[in-house]
Amino acid sequence: MLRLRDVCKSFGTREILRGISLEAEGGRISCIIGPNGSGKTTILRIADLLEAPDAGEIAFNGDDVLALGPEERIEYRRRMAMVFQQPALYDLSVYDNVAIGLRIRGIDKVVAGKRVEEALKAVNLYDLRSARAHSLSGGEAQRLCLAGAMVVEPEGLLLDEPTANLDPANTIIVEEIIREYASVKKGIVVFTTHNMFEAKRLADRILFLMEGRAIEEGDAAKVLNNPKEDMTARFLKGEMVFG
């Protein structure tokens, strides 16, 4: 289980997160929903130890993640996998872009080869395995990054707007991969979105975020169908809820 408690983060004088708590357990899909600039990405970055929180706690399977030493932090990151909103591709082939996470973990080349091929097939990129990653379209690049995250068989998956660049057909593929990862592999999934339809399709739990504040948190069906907070209801109706 990944648990964040009372996490605060500011950049300069700008408060990004104001006491956010989140619990994500294996086999369930947690969704952080909110408008642009609400702090969704920062939560994932903090959970992946790419940013240090100003205050708060992070626990993974009961261990205090923020108290880990440098080598243990690397081990923690190897148990998690993050997919960034903007695809970050290495100047290598499609195959090597997926294989890099396994190489970093020192996994045997033959075993790695099979896993990479499976991951590429799962995201429909196997035929492009020899192409340069930089020649891919935005949607292909996004799927490639997802394959790169899935191939390491992480215990937790942090996905920052994983379908933002995808067309409907590819969105279905990616959502199916996420769903299967949670239901079959019982992995922890935390994903961000500003798309309430996607949240409805995927999420078991929802955290609604606005200007760094948790407005509402709970079971997805309850939050989406009967929001307690007026602000959540307005956001779900598509109304402007800024300010």
Partner 1 sequence: MDITEIFYEVISITALSFRVTGIAIASAALLAIPLGSLLGLFDFRGKRVLVTLINTLMGLPPVVVGLILYLTLSRSGALGPLDLLYTPMAMIMAQFIMAIPIIMGLSYSAISAVPQRLVERTISLGATRNQLVIVIIREARVGILASIVAAFGGAISEVGAIMLVGGNIRYFTRALTTAIVLYTNMGEFGMAIALGLILLSTSFVINLFLTYLQMKDQGTRGPKLPKGVD
**Residue ranges that bind partner 1, judged by CB under 8 A:** 48, 50, 74-75, 77-78, 80-82, 84, 86, 88-91, 93, 100-101, 104-105, 132, 134, 145, 148, 152
Least CB distance to partner 1 at residue 128 (A): 15
CB of 32 vs partner 1, minimal distance in Å:
17
Nearer to partner 1, 55 or 74 (CB): 74
Residue 54 or 96: the one with the smaller Cβ distance to partner 1 is: 96
**Least Cβ distance, residue 238 to partner 1 (angstroms):** 30
Nearer to partner 1, 18 or 77 (CB): 77
Q: Output the smallest distance, CB 138 to partner 1, in A.
A: 14
Q: What is the 3-state secondary structure (H, E, C) of the chain?
A: CEEEEEEEEEECCEEEEEEEEEEECCCCEEEEECCCCCCHHHHHHHHCCCCCCCEEEEEECCEEHHHCCHHHHHHHHHHEEEECCCCCCCCCEHHHHHHHHHHHCCCCHHHHHHHHHHHHHHCCCHHHCCCEHHHCCHHHHHHHHHHHHHCCCCCEEEEECCCCCCCHHHHHHHHHHHHHHHHCCCCEEEEEECCHHHHHHHCCEEEEEECCEEEEEEEHHHHHHCCCCHHHHHHHCCCCCCC
Q: Pick between residue 112 and residue 214 the one whose CB is nearest to partner 1.
A: 112
Query: At its nearest, how many Å lie between partner 1 and the CB of residue 91?
Result: 6
Question: Which of 73/213 has CB closer to partner 1?
Answer: 73
Minimum CB separation of residue 132 from partner 1 in Å reads 6
Rg from Cα positions in the chain:
18
Q: Which one, 106 or 238, has the nearer CB to partner 1?
A: 106
Q: Please, which residue, 140 or 216, has the CB nearer to partner 1?
A: 140
Structural contact between residues 50 and 7, judged by C-beta atoms closer than 8 angstroms? no
Compute the least distance from the CB of residue 80 to partner 1, in Å. Answer: 8
Hey, which residues does 208 pair with through a beta bridge? 33, 216
Using CA atoms, how far residue 68 sits from 48, 57, 105, 148, 196, in Å, is 13, 12, 19, 25, 35
